[in-house]
Structure 1
Amino acid sequence: MSETRRNFLKLGAGVAIAAASVAGPAIAAPPGGIEHPRVLSFRRGQAAPRVGALTASGRICDVGAAAKKAGTKLSFDPNSMVSLISAGPRALDEVRALLAKGDADTLALADVRLTSPLPSPTRNIYAVGWNYLEHFEEGAALRGPGGAELPEHPVFFTKAVGTVNGPFDPIPYDPAVSTSIDWECELAIVIGKRGKNIPEARAMDYVFGFSVINDTTARDIQQKKHGGQWFKGKSLDGHGPMGPWIVPAAGVDYNNLQLITRVNGAVKQDYNTKAMYFKVPRIVAELSVGMELEPGDVIATGTPPGIGYARKPPEFLKPGDVMETEIVGMGTLRNEIKSV
């Protein structure tokens, strides 16, 4: 492992990860705790992903290994985040009990590779378009005639499963495919139990937790190239970094979160979820109408203003750029744009 990566993953004073290769502030990555344990997926070497939890000191508890050592029978498969999510509150209680044993036999972040918390989804990532008024307005002129009317319902689209990428992994850049790669910091909802036609008043009963996601987008494909296809423009391989972990819903004030995107240390987006046009419960309820949601489903809730495409002149990511996607109090992604 490179020294830069080791420095990046070290927890400074237990509350922040230092980004040694990028100018600017340290990346906020609050350590986990027992009450609202941050759960994650990680690899050691070439082994398959395993479920972990972040300790109060910022180390990783290998949930399966810790349970085996303690003689604890888990209600879920410790190699599957979807299994943990499906097991519900009981699974989180079991994780809390393991974290309560302290840092013995835990792993340093620098010695593992964090994957997306859901490294191998079986269903597309759901996403909401135009969910912040200023973002809607900044793109209105770009959409042309008839494209500036506010939606009465959330506008849904999907990202292919191949977009899923790790919180610190490179995002592939192929100029033969697109040269207009843009950033979109978003709050991700993780569904916790199966439900259909969910009433808005009960929607949060179906939410397991929240994570950070960047709906990285090929604007030329989305807008003009290949006929202006949202699905294709949103679905290039590796263009959906997510993580670094999932925070249980009870530990997140989802109506008051600060979303920040930085490129090479420069702030590009800085906005609060207070400004969401459609709130989290409405999004979950409307998506479930006539369509069953399943444990482990991910819903990206829309991006605030500040995208590169709407800037004058437009700004796009290029090889060597480092994109940081932060939700304050939850965690930060750090992804380099890398030529393939």
Structure 2
Amino acid sequence: MKLSSLYANETPFLGARRADGIVNVSAALPGWPTDVGALLRSPAHDARALADVVARTAASALLRDDEVRFRPVLPAPGKLLCLGLNYVDHAAENAVKPPEYPVVFGRYPTSLVGHGEPLVRPSVSTHFDYEAELVVVIGKTCRNVSRAQALDHVAGYTLLNDGSIRDYQLRTHQWTIGKNFDATGALGPELVTADELPLGAKGLVLRGLLNGKVMQEANTSDMIFSVADAIAILSEVMTLEAGDMIATGTPGGVGFVRNPPVFLKPGDVFEVEIERVGTLRNHVIAEAGP
């Protein structure tokens, strides 16, 4: 199933995609959560009831993509933990050794927009870079989970453009500042449930495209730390709760290491594509002056 957090006429609702359109789950099930994160955290979450509503909704009640606005698929995650340097080629282009333990930083809700919404290049920098990534969404709380059992706690997967303001990122030894400018990252468009993808989302082609040109291309099997690895390692440290997310890192081809560097500018369109997960597309605008 493919689930999304949407607006219709500025009213938030939970959506589910069918081949012929989008089901407004919130209209069919009043009182249910109106976004994917709240649904995953809800004790009332009933997968069978949800599947039944999606199946029996009349075609005349379905919505088209151009009739809705996409919010970040999880608008208010408890945690969005991001792995850095998790592809060998990305570590190499940064002139560092592949990490022996995951590089982890946090990303926060104010930095995120939904599919189709504008990414904002901040007024204080022109060094706005792109990073195409797969995100795993936790569906069941876990702590100290083994690698063998880690994937049992996955609700599904989505996409992230982990937009980075490189000059600010490189001002400190930690990356948080450069990763959290308002509206510089995109998340979505949908949560694809784990049962629709290979175990651990392995073997999927990932691409990042700038104005239609492929800038990044890899396979999710190329990750240094797999989805199961990431869940097991992070759960040694902290409780992972339903609705938490782990961004699994970006492959090589980012803009700031190119010669000459390539940075996102107003008017650009960047797309994250992962086969069977979808396409996350956003255009870039300039931040309004003070």
2:283 counterpart residue number: 336
- 1: CA distance between counterparts of 2:183 and 2:24? 26
Residues in 2 aligned to 1:335 and 1:155: alpha-carbon distance in whole angstroms: 27
Structure 2 unaligned spans of 5+: none
Structure 2 counterpart of 1:234, from 165, 174, 179: 179
| CA distance in 2: counterparts of 1:149 and 1:333, whole angstroms | 30
Aligned to 1:97: 52
Q: Cα deviation per residue 1:57-113 (whole Å; 9 max; x = unaligned)? A: 2x1111121235xxxxxxx82323223213589633222111211524121221111
Matches within 5 A, 1:107-126: 107-121=63-77, 123-126=78-81
TM-score for the superposition, normalised by structure 1:
0.80
**Aligned counterpart, 1:153:** 101
Residue segments in structure 1 that go unaligned for 5+ positions in a row = 1-36, 69-75, 141-147
Aligned residues: 284
Which structure has the larger Rg over C-alpha atoms? Answer: 1
Query: Which has the higher mean CA deviation after the structures are superposed, 81-90 or 148-157?
Result: 81-90
- Tell me by how many angstroms 1:120 deviates: 2.5
Q: Mark the CA change 1:67 to 1:77 in structure 2 (over 3 Å): closer, same or farther.
A: closer
The TM-score normalised by the length of structure 2 is 0.93
* 8 A Cα contact 1:213 1:300, kept in partner: yes
User: 1:163 Cα deviation (Å)?
Assistant: 1.2
Q: Distance in 2 between matches of 1:149 and 1:331?
A: 31
Once the 2 structures are TM-superposed, how far is the Cα of residue 115 of structure 1 from its aligned partner? 1.0
Distance 2:184 2:195 in 1: 29
Query: Structure 1 residue aligned with 2:89, among 111, 125, 134?
Result: 134
Task: Tell me the equivalent position of 2:115.
Answer: 167
For 1:187, the equivalent position in structure 2 comes to 134
Q: Distance in 2 between matches of 1:189 and 1:133?
A: 20
Provide, for residues 262-283 of structure 1, a one-character-per-residue CA deviation record: whole Å limited to 9, x for no partner: 1111110111111111111000
Cα pair 1:88 1:192 within 8 Å, conserved: no
- Name the CA shift for 1:214/1:137 in 2 (closer, same or farther; >3 Å): same
Between the aligned partners of 1:173 and 1:83, the Cα distance in structure 2 is 30
Please list, as runs of the form range in 1=range in 2, the aligned pairs for 1:200-279 lying within 5 A after superposition. Answer: 200-224=147-171, 227=172, 229-253=174-198, 254-279=201-226
Q: Secondary structure at the match of 2:151?
A: helix
Which secondary structure state, in structure 1, belongs to the residue aligned with residue 97 of structure 2?
Answer: coil
Instruction: Give the letter for the 1:264 counterpart.
Output: N
Q: Which residue of 2 aligns with 1:306?
A: 253
Using the alignment, how far apart are the partners of 2:49 and 2:254 within structure 1? Answer: 41
1:122-181 deviation line (CA, Å, top 9, x unaligned): x341100111101100111xxxxxxx23322211111122112101110111232x2111
Q: Which letter does structure 1 place at the counterpart of 2:187?
A: M
Any conservation in 1 of the 2:138–2:156 contact (CA below 8 Å)? yes
Paired residue type of 2:138: I
SS in 2 for 1:116: coil
Does the CA contact (< 8 Å) of 2:35 and 2:75 recur in 1? Answer: no
What's the counterpart of residue 326 of structure 1? 273
Separation in 2 of the partners of 1:200 and 1:312? 40
Write 1 or 2 for the structure with the bigger share of strand: 2
Match of 2:2 in 1: 38
Query: Once the 2 structures are TM-superposed, how far is the Cα of residue 223 of structure 1 from its aligned partner?
Result: 1.4
Instruction: Give the root-mean-square deviation of aligned CA atoms.
Output: 1.7
Counterpart of 1:106 in structure 2 is 62
Secondary structure at 1:153's aligned position in 2?
A: coil
